[in-house]
Amino acid sequence: MVCVNVSPRVALVDERVSITVTGLRPVQRVTVQSWLKQGEAVFRSNAHFLADGQGQIDVSHHVSYGGTYRGVDSMGLFRSMKPVPGASRKTRILKDDVMTPLVFTLSVMDGHIAFDDLQLPRTVELATGELERWYKHPTVHRIVVREGPLRGTLFLPPGEGPFPGLIDMSGSIGGLVEYRAALLASRGFACFALSYFRYDDLPSSMADIDFDYILGAVDWLASHPHVQVGGIGVIGASKGGEVAFLLGMTTNKIRCSCQHCFEQYFCDNTACKLNVGDILMLNTNNLKYTDEGVYLKDNLSYGIEVIPAWKNNAQILYLLGEDDGVMPIDHAKYFIETCPEEKRKNIELVSYPGTGHRIEPPYMPMYRTLYHPVLGMTLVVGGHPEAHAAAEEDAWRRLLNFLHKHLPH
């Protein structure tokens, strides 16, 4: 009997898993498919294998000869998933509810089947299995925060603590994004997913954000009884990276700061109160349109100021992709050149070839395009699958090591 085996069957999203198939004929041609339904969207991947002389396949060691990825990659069936055409316009797997897992269905089908033919009735399914991948470990506590004006979610690891504290902020889409904070708490940090606009009673526009609100979140977390004294860290993606820089400049309570895919721009020349000077401008009358979507990076102009995130001696991890379709990567060069020589030892800049704007936790599918509801357009965020996947794995490892090294324990 053909069986598909997954170990561990329940895992965090940043953990590698083992997938094996047994009970096949020697040298049998099969397709292994991964399938996920997330809201209205459906994502699939497939890989073509030949069983070995014992009628077995080990995805970690056997070559995929075709499908959505090629070569040997134990997590290829997850990182290469693509949206099924017609199911939804969404290109990104975004987990809104971290209290539930992403449930992947794995199936083994006879023969080598193309991606577009996976749903045809003539496919012969030999075996199925399921895998749960979580952003939040079951022992992590999720606490909704409504303290005065503050809005967000605090995730605490199991135990009494105190734990190293960390604020996590999303980008210019706004809202409340919890998945990375939940995963960081699962790795031992007291992590506050902070919303700062387009959520609950917070401002609906970036132009109306009060920076004192974010400083208040720093004070609140730094003094929390479950957070280790001595300063906290901040991690920001995209627009959140800019906010992280501003915090490093403004308060000495930030011990370390990590910026993923830094993004600074004004929309329609409307100044955001968070910005320090006219750092970048978005010329909405001269955008580069392609069949994929809009590239922003060639339509951003530099101002003369750079946020001096090094001012209060925070340690800085600056991660960026060289195939970023949103942000000109030259900004990192200007940032380093502007930094005083004696402060540069506090900055670790890592630039990844073939990598796009959004550097996410590893082993999830890359998306080259993303609909931006604030800008009202589909953006090309960039990235090439193999290079982007390798960058995310390295970046996540660097991030955890960086936080463990520089936050008080």
Confirm if 41 and 93 have CB atoms less than 8 A apart: yes
Instruction: Match 């008080």 to its residue by tokens.
Output: 408
The Cα 102–Cα 37 span in angstroms is: 8
Which of 184, 236, 237 has its CA nearest to residue 356? 237
Q: What is the DSSP letter of 372?
A: E
The Cα 389–Cα 385 span in angstroms is: 6
The Cα 3–Cα 172 span in angstroms is: 45
Q: What is the DSSP letter of 227?
A: B
Mention every residue, 6+ apart, whose C-beta is less than 8 A from residue 346. Answer: 310, 313, 314, 315, 316
The Cα 360–Cα 364 span in angstroms is: 8
The Cα 238–Cα 261 span in angstroms is: 5
CA dihedral 89, 93, 95, 96 (to 10 degrees): -20
Helix (H) or strand (E) holding 330: helix 330-338
Confirm if 275 and 264 have CB atoms less than 8 A apart: yes
Cα–Cα distance list, 99 to 10, 163, 211, 290, 313 (Å)? 14, 21, 30, 38, 37
- DSSP assignment of 235-299 equals EEETHHHHHHHHHHHH-TTEEEEEEES-----BTTBPPTT-SSS-EEE-TTS-EE-SS-EE-GGG
Residue 345: CB atoms within 10 A of its CB come to 10
Paired strand residues for 171: none
Phi, psi of 210 (to 5 degrees): -100, 120
Active site residue 141: no
Which entry of 14, 238, 257, 372 is annotated as an active-site residue? 238
Tokens for 123? 């496919």
The Cα 252–Cα 247 span in angstroms is: 9
Which entry of 73, 168, 323, 324 is annotated as an active-site residue? 324
Which entry of 357, 372, 388, 406 is annotated as an active-site residue? 357
**Cα Rg for the chain, rounded, in angstroms?**
22
Segments in 59-161 forming alpha helices (H):
76-79
Active site residue 137: no
Active site residue 331: no
* Beta strand ranges found along 239-295 (DSSP E): 254-260, 280-282, 288-289, 294-295
- The set of catalytic residues is 238, 324, 357
